[in-house]
Structure formats: C-alpha cells, structure tokens
Structure 1
C-alpha cells in the first residue's frame, strides 16, 4: 500500500512539475479576516444573494470576519488567490485547476445536490422555437451565419468541455465557423439565447435548473441540443499555506454545515445556491485529474490539426502530452 501511494505521489509531482513552477505570493501569516472568492457564473447581485448567507454562518463558526470577494471574470478570483487577496473560493474544476497550479490553492471539499448526487453537465442550447437547429450537425454548416456564445475561458462547462467534446473532437474551429464568438457567464449566455441575441450558446445543467426557478419565462425559451458526459461537482479551494489549524476550522465548517447545529437553517441556505445545493463532501486535488486529462486531450487534438509546424516538432509535443496522459492514467488507477 505504501509503495502504491509513493508511486502515485511521485507521478503527481512529475505530472504537475511545470505547473508547480508558477509563482504565487506566500502568506506571511494567517489572515485576520477571510476573503471568500466567488466565480462570476452570473451577476454579482445574484451571487451575493446565494452565497452571503453561508458566509455569515461561516463567520459565526470561525469567530472571524468573512468578506465576499467578487470579480468580473474567473481570472480575477484566481489572481486574487495567487496574490493572497482571496483565501477561500468556490471554483469550477477548470478554474480550480488553475488556482491549484498557479495560485497556491488546494481542493478540500466539493459541492453536491440536495439529493446527495454529485456532478453536472455542459449543454449547447438554442431557442426553443428554432426548428433549424436540433443537433450539433445543424450548427456545423460553418457558413458564418450563426452567432455563438461561449463561456469564460476558465469555465469548465462553459468553455473547456464544449471546446473539447463539441469542437476539437469534430475538427471545428469556432472562430472560422461562426459569425461571432463571444465570451460571457452562464446567466448572460442563457438570457442572450432566450432573447435571440445569439443563435447558439454553451451553458450547463445548473444554470438551466436555476433559471427554471428564477427566470422561468427565459428558461422556457431555450432548448438543449447537446449534453456532455458528467462533470465532477465544483471544488471549494483554500490557500494551501494557511495554517493547519485554520484549514481544519474551515474544512470543519463546510463538512458540518447542514449536518450539525441548526440543520434546517443551513439546508435552506444551501437550497438557495445555484439550482439547489446539498451538503459539502470530502475532496482533494485528485478530483481534478479528469479535467487535467481533458485539457491535455484538447491540446493534443489542437497540435495534431495545426498547420505550419513540422511533423517532427508536432510529434515531440504529442509525445510529451502522451507521457503526461499515461502518468495521469496511473494516478487515476491509484485513487
């Protein structure tokens, strides 16, 4: 068992060696107040309504002030953590991976649904009354007649997953295929689709579920034409250089929230987050392995289809990616 663990640890260090070189500003000591980062999946006002009640409960449990930290894009939360301005954050898996690799982050729990299930899905959506678009094949005519809404570059479901499964695997370049391609958060892309400001957009099951509750008229105006494989539930990440004591307190709060104390009040707060959140579950950086594989597969397909580079140069890059993928296969097998 020790040898198995040691092998996995060595491979993890090897696989992530390049990412580990990214510099982040070390904390000199534990913060006096916790800054809690929230990625911009929708408007700040909506996100405040969902997350601030949990932060207030966290503040009481830890006995220290907890401040909400918002930014106009995912990168703002990642960079906030990198420079010690964010200490705890809710991320998607892609942005969580960037926080781990570049911002000194560490996954410690992940979200779940109210029924205890975990995971969600990326979708491609269009207008419900658009009879001309019912599948991916209908958007791959690539005559630059359609406007496409894609997610934040650090979004898992809004960018990475569709970039790989929808475009890379079908050898389609969105910029060459569509009239326009614009980046926006999930809420904006859904509303833009419903209001016919874009023809097609990337979205996810959580935003669609939330819109059915909060904006049912808009939700009724869209239809799903593609669904991804299941994506791991969102990670909660804290700075790995917080003291063990503070990390234990933070992790303890999340794992006990809705399980001990005023359970009903906590579950009511959780139910107001996203499309209805359940209890937080134990997790760590290993939940990011499938996302790492996805990012590497996407890079490999991009290199294979690139023009201008010599065959030997492409082969060298692909060999390096295959090596990392093999290492990740072993890591996944050793989980």
Structure 2
C-alpha cells in the first residue's frame, strides 16, 4: 500500500480553509433594498480579499450580536452601542467609521413633529405629560434611544415610558412613517437617516418640522472579529479605508458608496471611538436608577456599584482613560 495518497490527504486537511466572510449590516431601512445597495461594495471586497463575501441584513440587534459572538459574522456595520456590546462580549474590535456624503463624520439625534403641530420646541414638548403619542427608537439603539433619553428627557428628570401616553418602538423609517400617517405626535430620528428619508419621502418630509437636536456624536463604526488572521484583517481595513479614494475605479466606488448609504467613505478608527457612548450609557443608567422609586436604598447602592465597576472595565477595554 502506498503512503503517498494518505500523506496528500493529511496535508490537504491541515491547510486552512478559505471560509466565506459574512458582513453584517444593521439597517434602519428595508432589508432587501439595503442588500441590493451594498452588494457591489461587498463584491469589490471579495475581489480584494480573494474569498467569497456574503451578507446578513437586519435590524434585530440581539440576533446580529449573537451571530458575531458565534463567528457567523466576521465584519459588521453597526451603531456605537452595538459595537460596544460586540467589543465587550463578542471578541470584536473597531477598525473604521463611516463618513456621510459631504464628508460629515458625525451625526445628531433629532426630534420631529408635523408642521401643523402646536409644539414648537423641546420645552413645549415636555409640557404635555400623558397627552402625546411617541415613536421611539428600538431599545438600546444609540441615535434613537440612548442619546435622546439622556440629553432630552433624563436631564429633565423625565422617563419617557412614564411621560408619553403611548410609545411605539421601531427604526428611523418606521418612526418617520408613524409620524407622517398621524399615528404619533412626535418621532425621533437622526440626521443621517433623515437625509435618506427626505430623499425617499420628500412630500412627507416637507410636512414635518424639527424641534430638537442633540450634540454631535461619532458616526457608525465598522467592526471585525479580533481572531481573524492578521493579513486578512489588514486587507479588510485597507479595503474600506481606501475605498473610493485610490485605485483605478474611484469614480465607480464613490457612486457605490453614495447608493449604499449616501456615504463618502470610511476613515480609520479604533475602540477608543466608543468612549463617548460608554459615558452616555453610564450616565443614562445612573439617571434611571436615581429616578427608580421601586428599589430600596441598599439595592440602588449595589446597582450603582455594579454600573461603575462595568464602566471601569469598559474604560480599560477601550484603551484606558482619555
């Protein structure tokens, strides 16, 4: 019996398999449309890394995080809060962030009413307890949940769940439609998605008015699993940060970026970019804890200690103090 075939078989088994790369796309739009818009970019990525690239598209944050944790997704476009969860719990790291058309690297959360609403500003919005219906962002989202909760409501000692008559939860487009169809009186959005919604629903947008906007926040990041082979990680980072800036097809790449998410491109970033949302989350949790009248003093004290302990751990994980 010849040992040569057996040796060849064992050698083949020992070689690393070129598994497909799956890119997760957290979206606030239609899943099919998002995939169609991003597919040309993913095709270009596949050509650069020399491996098949697939996509997972959706707005279920828990599902996306779990897929990253289980290595079913290796690269993802997410928001800052989900990136923080992935860095903390799913062996992920930030390697780039998105830049919107017009070279805007930041965004703001915004609050909208219909143009004929008697509410003219945030102060008036907060003078109608148990009278208004509100379209909120999904629990845990950065732009439509954490930012307005902290900067608009909690600093005024208001818990939205107690203040509004009724709350519906959804993504930016669902909230926009809820306001346009008069299902709610006020809706949260963000400056990035609102530009796309303005283009998609110009008549509805013309019948709305902005009554509040938050401070600026760092734009959505791109993350990848830490345990990807170093050469592959470098290729992926180089692809995104140079896409639309160098090469023979920059004009085509710029067009694909715009169609994908009205993007201008991507810039290098790291885990430190998540410090802003880490601070926001701590302040948010502490405010809600302070206003929670159901917990005993000892329970509040213990919970507060837990919040600060996690905050210190996250600070170290993200590169230490500023």
Normalising by structure 1, we get a TM-score of 0.84
- Structure holding more strand per residue: 2
Deviation at 1:154, TM superposition (A): 3.0
Q: Which residue number in structure 1 is paired with residue 257 of structure 2? A: 270
Q: Which residue number in structure 2 is paired with residue 185 of structure 1? A: 171
Q: Distance in 2 between matches of 1:206 and 1:239?
A: 26
Q: Which residue number in structure 1 is paired with residue 9 of structure 2? A: none
Q: Which residue number in structure 2 is paired with residue 34 of structure 1? A: 21
Q: Distance in 1 between matches of 2:94 and 2:31?
A: 24
Larger radius of gyration: 2
Q: Distance in 1 between matches of 2:36 and 2:182?
A: 27
List 4+ stretches of structure 1 deviating above 4 A: 319-335
Helix, strand or coil: the match of 1:207? helix
Q: Which residue number in structure 2 is paired with residue 14 of structure 1? A: none
Equivalent residue in structure 1 for 2:71, among 84, 88, 96: 84
Q: Which residue number in structure 1 is paired with residue 144 of structure 2? A: 158
Q: Which residue number in structure 2 is paired with residue 286 of structure 1? A: 272
Q: Distance in 1 between matches of 2:190 and 2:63?
A: 21
Quote the RMSD (CA, aligned, Å): 2.3
Deviation at 1:241, TM superposition (A): 1.1
Matches within 5 A, 1:98-177: 98-130=85-117, 132-177=118-163
| 1:45 pairs with 2:35 | no
Deviation at 1:176, TM superposition (A): 1.8
Cα deviation digits, residues 149-180 of structure 1 (max 9, x gap): 11122311011111111221111122222221
Query: Residues 328 and 239 (structure 1 numbering): CA distance in 2 closer, same or farther, change over 3 Å?
Result: closer
Unaligned 5+ residue runs, structure 2?
1-15
| 1:243 pairs with 2:229 | yes
Contact 2:105 2:218 in 1 (8 A): yes
Q: Which residue number in structure 1 is paired with residue 290 of structure 2? A: 304
Q: Distance in 2 between matches of 1:327 and 1:70?
A: 31
Normalising by structure 2, we get a TM-score of 0.87
Contact 2:28 2:59 in 1 (8 A): no
Q: How many residues align?
A: 305
Deviation at 1:145, TM superposition (A): 2.5
Deviation at 1:54, TM superposition (A): 1.0
Q: Which moved more, 1:323-332 or 1:111-120?
A: 323-332
Deviation at 1:314, TM superposition (A): 2.7
Q: Distance in 2 between matches of 1:95 and 1:37?
A: 12
Contact 2:88 2:314 in 1 (8 A): no
